[in-house]
């Protein structure tokens, strides 16, 4: 019956988006950029308006056994506004819609809103509206972020050029290792409820998973230094997957260096405890909510003056592939695993 049907796993997240986008054509002149970037770009007159939507499903994106509802609301906002920041924009408004099953109470939804409002207040965003509907199972959260960017400051994924330097903010892989710890302790607790979860000494990685922040200040520092990235994306699916979005959109390749990828000590220690090479969560873990961007080589001295950013490699010519280079000079091809792991 399904012999001529294509499994979703054959395409993956971005392959599916590309497949569907082939049949979509923008008819309005005000649509500057549609499918294929972090946010839709709309010409609203003096500035570009930016709009992005994120969907979170219980059991896929969050587990309420170990996710506090207030933290869930906070993280939902970060997920949405990170797309606006990734276009070099400033988020201004937020819409939140819920699909709610009968197992929830009013007070629980209020907790989610309380967390969302905390994030909105911190990042100067208005929670401007939304919607609610019933759900047969679980909780669904849809968040739409709206922002603006000066037309001259817009940054997309497709602007990277050969010899551009590749930078990331913060460190990578912590959110994934935090998730693995929470999942391990959940399974132990479910098997034997007399054993309490052991999360001591892992506050950083747990915080990165449950209550992430976004490095919005780095964008301000870049602007003050007169640096406009040639391309940019937020790291949510994993460094490998998101970097390959830039190279695919830009028609280039890349080389990143193992020794330059920033990994926190707590992340490394916990990864080794799980018998995982720390590079794996850094490349493919996701949920880091950091910035990945490229700048021309001649900007290197200016970027060095900015805190919390690190050069990890460079953009290469089209057809040269995407590789991570080991300490011995060996090259391993990057693969995008971000969506399939979910």
262 assigned to some structural domain: yes
Q: Are residues 129 and 232 in the same domain?
A: no
Where among 129, 153, 177 does a domain terminate? 153
Same domain? For 179 and 128 the reply is no
The whole-angstrom separation of Cα 245 and Cα 166 is 13
Q: What is the pLDDT of residues 166-216, one digit of tens each?
A: 999 999 999 999 999 999 989 887 887 766 677 778 999 999 999 999 999
More confident residue, 232 or 25: 232
- Looking at the fold, whether 245 and 289 belong to one and the same domain comes out as yes
Measured at the CA of 287, the angle between CA 212 and CA 250, to 5 degrees, comes to 125
Return d(Cα 44, Cα 29) in angstroms, integer: 11
What is the residue range of 309's domain?
Answer: 157-333
Give the C-alpha separation, 322 to 292, whole Å: 15
315-329 pLDDT per residue, tens: 999 999 999 999 999
Please write the tens of the pLDDT for every residue from 43-100: 988 899 999 999 999 999 999 999 999 999 999 999 999 999 999 999 999 999 999 9
d(CA 186, CA 180): 10
**326 is a domain residue:** yes
Split into its structural domains, the chain has a count of: 2
Residue pLDDT, tens place only, 100-131 = 999 999 999 999 999 999 999 999 999 999 99
Q: How far apart are CA 318 and CA 297, in angstroms?
A: 18
**Closest Cα to residue 243, out of 257, 227, 228, 256?**
256
* Coil, strand or helix at 278: coil
- Is the model's pLDDT at 251 over the cut of 60? yes
SS3 331: strand
Strands 322-325 and 253-257: parallel
Residue 285 lies in a domain: yes
CA distance 236 to 83: 10
Q: Indicate whether 133 and 237 sit together in one domain.
A: no
d(CA 326, CA 256): 9
Beta strands in the chain (DSSP E): 31-33, 40-43, 47-57, 90-100, 126-134, 139-150, 165-169, 231-235, 253-257, 290-295, 309-316, 322-325, 331-333
Q: What is the pTM of this model?
A: 0.92
Q: How much is the mean pLDDT over the chain?
A: 92
Given 123, 153, 183, the domain boundary residue is 153
Structure tokens at 249: 């959109």
């Amino acid at each position: 019956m399904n012999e001529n049907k294509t499994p979703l796993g054959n395409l993956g997240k971005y392959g599916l988006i590309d497949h569907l986008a082939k049949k979509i054509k923008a008819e309005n002149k005000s649509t500057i950029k549609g499918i294929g970037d972090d946010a839709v770009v709309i010409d609203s007159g003096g500035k570009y308006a930016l709009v992005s939507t994120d969907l979170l499903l219980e059991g896929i994106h969050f587990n309420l056994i170990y996710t506090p509802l207030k933290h869930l609301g906070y993280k939902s906002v970060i997920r949405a506004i990170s797309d606006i920041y990734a276009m070099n924009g400033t988020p201004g408004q937020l819409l939140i819609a819920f699909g709610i099953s009968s197992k929830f109470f009013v007070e629980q939804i209020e907790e989610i809103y309380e967390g969302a409002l905390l994030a909105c207040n911190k990042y100067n965003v208005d929670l401007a509206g939304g919607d609610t509907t019933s759900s047969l199972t679980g909780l669904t959260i849809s968040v739409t972020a709206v922002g603006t960017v000066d037309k001259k400051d817009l940054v997309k994924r497709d602007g990277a050029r050969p010899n551009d330097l590749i930078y990331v903010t913060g460190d990578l892989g912590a959110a994934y290792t935090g998730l693995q710890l929470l999942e391990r302790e959940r399974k132990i607790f479910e098997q034997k409820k007399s054993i309490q979860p052991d999360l001591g000494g892992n506050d950083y990685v747990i915080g990165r998973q449950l209550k992430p922040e976004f490095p919005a200040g780095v964008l301000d520092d870049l602007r003050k230094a007169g640096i406009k990235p040639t391309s940019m994306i937020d790291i949510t699916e994993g460094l490998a997957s998101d970097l390959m979005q830039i190279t695919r959109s830009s028609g280039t390749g890349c080389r990143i260096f193992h020794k330059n990828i920033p990994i926190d000590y707590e992340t490394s220690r916990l990864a080794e405890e799980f018998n995982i090479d720390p590079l794996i969560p850094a490349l493919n873990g996701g949920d880091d909510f950091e910035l990945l961007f490229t700048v021309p080589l001649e900007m290197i001295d200016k970027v060095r003056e900015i805190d919390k950013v690190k050069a990890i490699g460079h953009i290469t010519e089209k057809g040269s592939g995407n590789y991570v280079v080991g300490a011995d000079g060996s090259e391993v091809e990057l693969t995008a695993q971000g969506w399939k792991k979910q």
